[in-house]
Amino acid sequence: METEAPEGYSLSTKKYDVDFDSGKFDDKTSNFVVDEKVTDKVNVFNFMFTKVQDVNGSYTGLNGAEFTLTPKDGTKGKPIVATSGTGTDSNGYTVNGLTKFDGEANSKAGNPSKDGIAIGNYTLSETKTPNGLQPINDVDVVNTAIKDKDGKITAYQTKITDVETKQVIDDVTTPVEKMKDNNILLNVNLGQLTDKPVTPVVPTIKTKAHTKDGDQTIQKVEVSKTTPVYDKIMMTNAEKGDQMMASLHRIVTDKDGKVTESKVIRTLNFTVDDETVKAQEKQIESTVDTTKDADVPETSTVTYVWTEDLFDEGKNPKTDEPKAKHDDLKDQDQTLTVEKVKKPVTPPSSTTPSSSTPTPSTPTPKGSLPTTGSETGDVIAYGGAVAMLVALGIGGFTYYMKKKKSTEEG
pLDDT band with cut points at 50, 70 and 90 for residue 123: very high
Architecture of domain 43-197: Sandwich (2.60)
**Helix residue ranges per DSSP H, 84-124:** 103-108
Chain segment 169-214, per-residue pLDDT in tens:
999 999 998 888 889 999 999 988 887 666 677 899 999 999 999 9
pLDDT at 132: 74
CA 336 – CA 315 distance, rounded (Å): 30
pLDDT at 288: 96
**Closest to 44 in 3D by CA, of 85, 126, 105:** 105
**pLDDT(349) > 70:** no
pLDDT band with cut points at 50, 70 and 90 for residue 89: confident
pLDDT at 53: 85
Chain segment 261-316, per-residue pLDDT in tens:
999 999 999 999 999 999 999 999 999 999 999 999 999 999 999 999 999 999 99
**pLDDT(165) > 50:** yes
CATH of the structural domain 204-338, one choice from 2.60.40.1930, 2.60.40.3930, 2.40.340.10, 1.10.357.10: 2.60.40.3930
pLDDT band with cut points at 50, 70 and 90 for residue 234: very high
Among the ranges given (137-146, 216-225, 344-353), the one the predictor scored with the smallest mean pLDDT:
344-353
- List, in sequence order, every beta strand (DSSP E) within 73-147: 80-83, 85-88, 94-101, 117-118, 121-128, 133-134, 139-147
**pLDDT(371) > 50:** no
Residue-averaged pLDDT of the chain: 82
Chain segment 389-407, per-residue pLDDT in tens:
444 444 444 444 544 444 4
pLDDT band with cut points at 50, 70 and 90 for residue 32: low
Q: Can you give the pTM of this predicted structure?
A: 0.49
CA 245 – CA 404 distance, rounded (Å): 121
CB 263 within 8 A of CB 308: no
pLDDT at 193: 86
Per cent of the chain over pLDDT 90 is: 59
pLDDT at 56: 75
Query: Positive or negative, the Cα torsion across 217, 221, 223, 225?
Result: negative
Degrees, nearest 5: CA angle 96-123-54 = 35
Sorted by where each begins, the domain ranges of the chain are 43-197, 204-338
